[in-house]
């Protein structure tokens, strides 16, 4: 398996191999790979001649220094996991100063307001960091298709907007959320849960499933109240936000409008671990 650290080496390698119209699929990750990540990788392998997976804990998208410091880094295991899926995967593990070409800093992006809702409100500068790194990665890898998980639904919509605004010829392929057997959305952060928090964490998905059952017969206000009450009675989990928003604009809705598609978005703290999930209605 080829592993590159420097952008010029990866670019040279891809240039040599991209002859004869071969297609490139790309899966950007922050590592600590789990089966959710591997599902994205497998989709890319199925659709493309080459698959590039990047592993980079991008400092500029973290608004919280402690979260960045504690983010799991398991490169050796990640490389083994990728190798066991396919030995021909091309791995890119950038060095911050090389990919940022000097100062490790975000640029500012306008994603037509998508960046101001939910995660944008709660994690200042997060989507500038995401936009900056994904744009750089796209320029280096020049993929035909790039794969993103619906687990980070707002990020997925923002990447679609980035490609549209920057006029990049890349197809963004959404992949549905992979869950543990008990319903907890797979996440690199799950590794950091204590035993008691890991046991209670599937509660998040159970409540989301309840809201899905309530969707036809209840108002948005009633559903939000229900979720807030459930978490108020659950001392091990602290609700940061639950919002129901239009899937396209991500603007939180108070009322359902016929023909629009809605999704419930949730962030919960389990001890010092921040967990994110969502569900479609």
User: According to the binding rule CB under 6 A, does residue 36 interact with ligand AMP?
Assistant: yes
Looking at 30-38, 113-121, 198-206, 232-240, which segment touches ligand AMP (CB under 6 A)? Answer: 30-38
Site for ligand AMP in 188-227 (CB under 6 A): 188
Which residue, among 18, 45, 31, has the nearest Cα to 175 in the 3D structure? 45
Which residue, among 170, 172, 171, 175, has the nearest Cα to 186 in the 3D structure? 175
For the chain, the helix, strand and coil percentages under 3-state DSSP, each to the nearest 5: 45, 20, 35
Which residues touch 240 (CB under 8 Å, ≥6 apart)? 122, 267, 268, 269, 274
Least distance between ligand AMP and beta carbon 248 (Å): 18
Least distance between ligand AMP and beta carbon 54 (Å): 9
Beta strands in the chain (DSSP E): 2-4, 24-29, 50-55, 90-92, 145-149, 171-175, 237-246, 262-270, 273-280
Question: Is residue 37 among the annotated active site residues?
Answer: yes
Residue selected from 29, 43, 51, 211 as contacting ligand AMP according to rule CB under 6 A: 29
Site for ligand AMP in 162-191 (CB under 6 A): 175, 177-178, 185-188
Residue selected from 14, 24, 30, 275 as contacting ligand AMP according to rule CB under 6 A: 30
User: According to the binding rule CB under 6 A, does residue 278 interact with ligand AMP?
Assistant: no
Residues that bind ligand AMP in the complex, under the rule CB under 6 A: 29-30, 36-37, 40, 148-149, 151-152, 175, 177-178, 185-188
């Amino acid at each position: 398996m080829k592993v590159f650290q420097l952008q010029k080496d990866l670019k040279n390698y891809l240039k040599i191999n991209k002859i004869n119209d071969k297609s490139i699929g790309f899966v950007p990750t922050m590592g600590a790979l789990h089966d959710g990540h591997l599902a994205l990788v497998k989709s890319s392998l199925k659709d493309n001649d080459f698959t590039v997976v990047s592993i980079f804990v991008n400092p500029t998208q973290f608004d919280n220094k402690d979260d960045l410091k504690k983010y799991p880094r398991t490169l050796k295991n990640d490389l083994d996991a990728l190798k066991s899926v396919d030995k021909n995967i091309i791995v890119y593990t950038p060095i911050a100063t090389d990919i940022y070409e000097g100062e490790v800093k975000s640029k500012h992006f306008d994603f037509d307001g998508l960046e101001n809702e939910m995660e944008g409100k709660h994690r200042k500068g997060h989507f500038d960091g995401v936009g900056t790194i994904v744009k750089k990665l796209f320029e280096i890898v020049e993929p035909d298709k790039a794969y993103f998980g619906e687990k980070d639904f707002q990020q997925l919509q923002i990447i679609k907007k980035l490609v549209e605004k920057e006029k990049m010829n890349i197809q963004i392929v959404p992949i549905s959320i992979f869950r543990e057997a008990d319903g907890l959305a797979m996440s690199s952060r799950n590794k950091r849960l204590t035993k008691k928090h890991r046991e209670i964490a599937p509660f998040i998905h159970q409540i989301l499933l309840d809201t899905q059952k309530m969707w036809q017969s209840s108002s948005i206000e009633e559903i939000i109240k229900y979720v807030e009450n459930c978490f108020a009675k659950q001392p091990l989990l602290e609700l940061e936000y639950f919002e129901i928003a239009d899937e396209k604009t991500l603007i939180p809705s108070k009322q359902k409008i016929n023909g629009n598609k809605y999704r419930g978005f949730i962030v919960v703290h389990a001890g010092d671990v921040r967990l994110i999930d969502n569900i479609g209605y």
